[in-house]
A and B are shown apart, each in its own frame.
Chain A
Amino acid sequence: MIAIQRSYAVEKNDFTKAGEVSSNIKKIMKQVGVEPEIIRRVSVAAYESEMNIIIHSYGGTIDFMITPEYIKLVACDRGPGIENIELAMKKGYSTAPQNVREMGFGAGMGLPNIKRCSDEFIIESEYKSHTKLVLVFKQSM
């Protein structure tokens, strides 16, 4: 398998394009023949990360990399950052506004889902600055 790298911009509140980055990432993984179980975990993590940037941030990027050993996702945004990461990681905690809740978001399950799906999970956030997620998925070759 050859190494592949992609970088995508994700805009704030752009619900018409919501899920496009994750769909794209999923298609690439299928094309290069990643194991279905890994495709599913990466897809779920990518979608939750993409939606968090759209809903909670001022906009950002998702970087995606496949190598024979691992798949890596880096979701980084331009703020406003997370004030209390421990609280944000709790199942059920959400600050999603009402209009977004009506669409079915705001269960407070996104970050826990991302953590559960990834083999390595790093969240870094500086309040009033940025949030960055680094996710690694191991490929057993």
Chain B
Amino acid sequence: MTVAQLLNNLDVKLLSGKNDLNKKITGFYIGDMLSWVMAKAEEGQAWITIQTNLNVVAVSVMTDISCIIIADNAEVPPDTLIKAEEEGIPILQTSLSAYQIAIKCAGVDAHG
């Protein structure tokens, strides 16, 4: 699945990284503690979180995360979006909870 396909299949809003939607998503990781994400998230995974501060972009770059999915419509500050655009990290935002996102993503994953 690519970020673009996820975008088409999930009720999400794209906030940044519109030029990087062809990235492949290899799986998903859910977490809000940055060091846990650094330890556990794998290359190419989409990261589901409610963290939105500037540091999420650096963590995504360091761990080669394909995109960030912001749960519960957590507000994303402008400096995060600017940085994400610069670094080519798509940020998707939705009113769904992390749990609901995970269920929907599993459905999309199974269907190609």
Please tell me if the beta carbons of B61 and A48 are within 8 angstroms of each other in the complex.
Answer: no
Q: Would you call A23 an interface residue if the criterion is a C-beta within 8 Å of the partner chain's C-beta atoms?
A: yes
Q: How far is the CA of A116 from the CA of B35 in the complex (A)?
A: 12
Q: Would you call A134 an interface residue if the criterion is a C-beta within 8 Å of the partner chain's C-beta atoms?
A: no
A-B contact count (CB 8 A): 76
- Residues in A with CB closer than 8 Å to B56 are 104
Q: How far is the CA of A44 from the CA of B39 in the complex (A)?
A: 8
Please tell me if the beta carbons of A104 and B33 are within 8 angstroms of each other in the complex.
Answer: yes
Chain B, interface SS category = helix
Please tell me if the beta carbons of B61 and A23 are within 8 angstroms of each other in the complex.
Answer: yes
Q: How many residues of A contact B (CB 8 A)?
A: 26
- Residues in A with CB closer than 8 Å to B62 are 19, 22-23, 26, 40, 43-44, 46-47
Q: How far is the CA of A82 from the CA of B39 in the complex (A)?
A: 23
Please tell me if the beta carbons of B43 and A105 are within 8 angstroms of each other in the complex.
Answer: no
Q: Which of B29-77 contact A (CB under 8 A)?
A: 32-36, 38-39, 43, 49, 51, 53-59, 61-64
Q: How far is the CA of A19 from the CA of B86 in the complex (A)?
A: 14
Q: Indicate which residue in B34, B49, B61 contacts A105 across the interface (CB closer than 8 Å).
A: B34
Q: Give the residue name and chain of the B residue nearest to A21 (CB).
A: B58
Q: Indicate which residue in B32, B36, B58, B64 contacts A19 across the interface (CB closer than 8 Å).
A: B58
Point out which of B39, B79, B87 has the most chain A C-beta atoms below 10 A from its C-beta: B39
Of the A-B pairs whose beta carbons lie under 8 Å apart in the complex, a sample of 15, sorted by A's number, is: A15-B54, A19-B59, A23-B58, A23-B87, A43-B62, A47-B59, A51-B55, A104-B33, A104-B53, A104-B55, A104-B56, A107-B34, A109-B35, A109-B39, A116-B39
B contacts, CB < 8 Å to A: 32-36, 38-39, 43, 49, 51, 53-59, 61-64, 79, 87
- Nearest 4 CB-CB pairings of A with B: A19-B58, A109-B35, A107-B33, A104-B34
